Structure 1
């Protein structure tokens, strides 16, 4: 075996054959090999193989083998050429080309290193900028979360304070309602007494069935007691409706307070997260999800509206309680006044009846005495008449005897 290969574009050699060097077979171009890898070159720089001269060797097509039968059997297997003779006859590069190729490679390497250095510097500056921007954004987010937590804490305190006052007001309203219902039930006793008095007075006989002040006051007392019961029951119904509205406001406050607690828990968890925290995952597209239903202005307005609604309900409850207190005072005064008037009428009527009774008893006694005296007189008269009968019969007998 002889020399098997030279440079990249040289033909391969095979076992030496006897042939003349006067005529060589026509050169067959080597098959082109396409590489899938293409190196990256900076813009403005020539390819690394651009230093190759445009003059390629030409092989004479007059070279023939001495033996006609020893012709090249394959187009891809040219005859063997000695390296010394090939270098002497077919020199493709010059020292200038060699120096130029080296200079180009050196300049290309320097340009690549320069470009790599610039790219590395830009990358470092980009990383620093992004790190600084990330830190600034995290600091801004921390400030926003702290402000958000303070806002949530403020509204939580306001909602809790208002909820406590509303609960106390509901307790007061429930107490007033029970007092009204109890007072309305307790008014049944004097009402039954007044009705019993009227019923008993209907048992009077004759001229005693008089429509006197006692009867008038009793009727007024019955009407007043029924009117008081009706007013207290109506006010109790209004208080029940107001308590229902208060419970609605209470539920709104409790729901808003629960939402604030959940939001505070989530924001506190987010505020305490760090880059080194566990269980941190990346979810694609979460920054594009708009799951909010309000903005800070409407969020604060919602809580403020709930508090204002609760304050209005408390104001209405306070007015109803004051109205109930005034009603208690007025009705108690009216009932006590009517009760006093009825008692005074009873006393006056009883006094009148006692006077008339005494007078009648006196007259009865006098009449009985007169009757007794009259009966005695009648008895005396009868006795006197009976006493006069004897003399009358004796006189009559004397006259009869004288006449005979």
Structure 2
């Protein structure tokens, strides 16, 4: 390319103005060939230092579009900045209003839980006082059970002196054991109930302490949040706290915060209801145990009252049974003798049948036949052996029955001999001591 064709460098088109929107001008190279050339013939064929008209026009358009782009960008930036400032201001006002409204809601929640805690503290305190009175009554009732236990124990020791077969668990014995067991159960029940009441009083006080601690925290938190709700942009005691917006590791969530108070109140209500139920249970236990002890005392007295007549009746029946046993022993001895004779009577038929079979085994050659006679003789031997086996088994049973009858006879004779001693112990010892049994009102814990 010749030097005359070199173009003069131009300013770049601004990036904000699309290149397609600019007018396209084809710049032709200027040659110094005109007759009015300022360079003369010496510069013929070289580029001139002056811009062409088309280049001047292009430069003006470029400056126009650059100014237009910069002004448009600046106006858009000012508009966005103004809009952003307004949005930030509105968001700050809205956030502060939300925070103030949230603090107000929080104060309502704190007031609600504080009131609930105060109510529950009053209820738990009143219930604990009522339970203390029931505990004192329970202790008196427990002390009153010592005398019945002593009486029942002495009766049992006296009846241990019965001898032989009379040392049995008869009606009075069962009733006395029931009475002893009942008194032990009553003492154990009253003791456990007493321990339970002590434990319940302790739990009531623990629940009350937790409620009071929670209530104290709620009061302090209420004062703090109430002060925070009064702050505004014109407050004089506000300042920057750069690290205040971070969450501490030991902070709670709204759910866990409400759950904490709910659990404290729920536990206190549970303990209070348990205390109410325990007081009702104590009253029911004292009433039931006193009635049960007196009812059992009457049952023992009734058993002792009927015992003498029962012993005499049993003695008479045992004598009747003894006579029947003696008669049955004689009949069984005769039966044993008859069975032995029957077994002996089967020896001759067995010998006949076995002899026949033995002799027929010598039949010669083909005569040694399994004829019907042979089968009948074999069956006869089996029948006789089975009969002897049945008779022998029945004989063993009869002999065992005879031994049982002899043991029963000895037992009846020994029991009849011991009846008089039992009647003396029941009449003279036990029934006299039971007149000292305590009254119902004392067993109920009122005295």
Assess same fold via TM > 0.5: no
TM-score by length of 1: 0.45
TM-score by length of 2: 0.41
Structure with the larger helix share: 2
Larger RCO (alpha carbons 8 Å, 6+ apart): 2
Structure with max Cα Rg: 1
